[in-house]
């Protein structure tokens, strides 16, 4: 096969791969769009009553309300730290010897 033939085949393969990646990415965006729309409508419904799903008040600006919001955020951050520590521990896990 000549070098021009090899180059032509390589270009066709690259174009096909690029089209496949583009098609895959377009399919992922189409699939995730309805889920995002339903999440947005849920968020809008929860903010109309003054609180969202995190327990943080959108309308209570009193000291008591702010302290409660800070407590809720701290609880969520502690949960995140716990999850992060668990993930770190699993990455440092030692293999078990197989005999």
Range of the domain at 41: 1-45
Quick one: how far is CA 18 from the chain centroid?
25
Does 24 reside within a domain?
yes
User: What pLDDT is stored for residue 51 in this prediction?
Assistant: 46
Please list the pLDDT of the chain residue by residue as tens digits (99 residues). 788 999 999 999 999 999 999 988 888 776 655 545 554 454 454 444 454 566 666 777 788 888 888 898 888 898 888 888 888 887 887 777 777
User: What pLDDT is stored for residue 46 in this prediction?
Assistant: 46
| In a shared domain, residues 58 and 37 | no
Q: What is the DSSP string of 31-83?
A: HHHHHHHHHHHHHHHHHHTTB-TTS-BSS--SHHHHHHHHHHHHHHHHHHHHH
| In a shared domain, residues 40 and 67 | no
Number of domains in the chain: 2
| In a shared domain, residues 15 and 40 | yes
| In a shared domain, residues 1 and 35 | yes
| In a shared domain, residues 41 and 61 | no
What is the rounded distance in angstroms from the CA atom of residue 34 to the CA atom of residue 31? 7
């Amino acid at each position: 096969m000549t070098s021009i033939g090899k180059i032509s085949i390589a270009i066709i393969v690259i174009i096909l791969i690029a089209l496949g990646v583009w098609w895959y990415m377009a399919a992922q965006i189409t699939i995730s769009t309805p889920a995002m729309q339903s999440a947005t409508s849920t968020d809008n419904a929860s903010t109309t009553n003054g609180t969202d799903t995190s327990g943080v008040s959108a309308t209570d600006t009193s000291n008591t309300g702010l302290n409660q919001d800070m407590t809720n955020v701290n609880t969520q951050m502690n949960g995140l730290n716990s999850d992060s520590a668990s993930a770190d521990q699993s990455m440092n896990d030692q293999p078990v010897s197989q005999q």
